[in-house]
Structure 1
């Protein structure tokens, strides 16, 4: 009798189903974005190392940057410690930011370490070439993806409703407890995902405009860019801060991918096929 009851319960339990979650175009755009983002991040750090400090305003304030990566030096001029300064408060970041170890094991003055930059050696011109080339690929890819969202009316999927806003506290609790949606609920973004993806959609155009503002040629063609950001140094700071935000977004995104099922998530972004767990009663 016990085995019969167990068999009946097993037969009544809903089985998982497999759906096509992402279209080929979405998957291609995703991986092009991922590749471009890595190259842009590494080449961007190479460019930043040429002047590893940020000020806010129309001109550079060398004496009072709100963020800087520097090194303490001994009497011989050799770096002894890496220092990261944020709003006047210094932090010892020896070995990583400000001063990192070279191939010979000795400390060298670098904003970001050489292993994280493209190219690894200090070459501002080459870093710019990498950055600009892949920036335009990212822009074109983004336009294709945005046109797809508009054409298929998927842009509405990212816009939170009034019910979504009211559900924010519950969504935070569910994420904190690592409770992931099941059944039909897994077919839709929750409110935290909507807000996160929507913020990226908004951040990317501002990031691109800030990057264009740092180009004298673009400023000459479109002088309103300087007025929009309040100067080239302010645009540089905005570009850096938004890039930092996107890095944090990617880190959280990858953590959630791993916690919610890395194989299932990766398969959906490679083949489009996604397995949905049906809600168990």
Structure 2
């Protein structure tokens, strides 16, 4: 018998999955406005702190797309930098099939991105409060000493593709669940807020805490 999560747990998780899907694809559209990442507080042509960039350039073989990571350039024509239907290729960071909307529209992408960001944040807070009240976090997600003792065995079982479906989460599941819910998702929300000029005026310390606006 396979245990199924409660209806509300499944609902919130599906809401998170859908929200993350739209946030990812709209985020790629927003990224296309300037497909570069920097380290520090400054950016621009006068600085050399670019760590990631997608672009296109003219070559003897015609326009080519490239991706540059820490100064190392790779030809990514057809996927990143230069993509589109044969004969109608254009210079763009991520291809049209990977962005929402598929055509370049920064305003619409921002609306979609922030709409689902608030849905994600709200449902996450509701889930967190409810899980604290009903004891779900303490009972099911917090690793215990016995869990840590079983960690090597859990790793070995997963490496051998031996999975045991029970009511309780194993140690790796608890660690993965906790890492996503209490580290990655909050970090994603905080870094997203730090990129908002309006939030910078309300919480100016966020940029300094994260190593600068460009970081």
Q: TM-score, normalised by structure 1?
A: 0.70
Gaps of 5+ in 2: none
The 5 Å alignment of 1:204-215 reads 204-215=185-196
Partner of 1:239: none
Q: Structure 1, residues 199-254: CA drift from partner, whole Å, max 9, x if none?
A: 111111121111111111111122122222132111xxxxxxxxxxxxxxxxxxxx
Q: Distance in 2 between matches of 1:176 and 1:71?
A: 41
The 5 Å alignment of 1:219-234 reads 219-234=200-215
Structure with the higher helix share, 1 or 2? 1
Give the deviation of 1:107 after TM superposition: 3.0
Partner SS for 1:69: strand
1:35 paired to 2:18: yes
The 5 Å alignment of 1:52-67 reads 52-60=35-43, 62=45, 63-67=48-52
Which of 134, 138, 141 is the aligned partner of 1:152?
A: 134
Of the two, which has the highest radius of gyration? Answer: 1
Give the deviation of 1:168 after TM superposition: 2.5
Gaps of 5+ in 1: 1-16, 235-281
Partner SS for 1:95: coil
Q: Distance in 2 between matches of 1:116 and 1:26?
A: 29
The 1:38–1:18 alpha-carbon spacing in structure 2 relative to 1, beyond 3 Å, is closer
Which of 177, 180, 185 is the aligned partner of 1:197?
A: 177
The 1:64–1:228 alpha-carbon spacing in structure 2 relative to 1, beyond 3 Å, is closer
The 1:30–1:41 alpha-carbon spacing in structure 2 relative to 1, beyond 3 Å, is same
Give the deviation of 1:84 after TM superposition: 1.5
1:164 paired to 2:144: no
Q: Is the 8 A contact 1:71 1:79 kept in 2?
A: no
Q: Distance in 1 between matches of 2:146 and 2:90?
A: 54
1:176 paired to 2:176: no
Partner SS for 1:71: strand
Q: Distance in 1 between matches of 2:152 and 2:53?
A: 37
Partner of 1:238: none
Which of 45, 52, 72 is the aligned partner of 2:57?
A: 72
Question: What's the Cα RMSD here?
Answer: 1.9
Q: Distance in 1 between matches of 2:191 and 2:62?
A: 33
Give the deviation of 1:64 after TM superposition: 3.6
Q: Is the 8 A contact 1:55 1:61 kept in 2?
A: no
How many pairs were matched up?
211
Partner SS for 1:181: coil
Q: Is the 8 A contact 1:29 1:141 kept in 2?
A: yes
Q: Distance in 1 between matches of 2:212 and 2:102?
A: 30
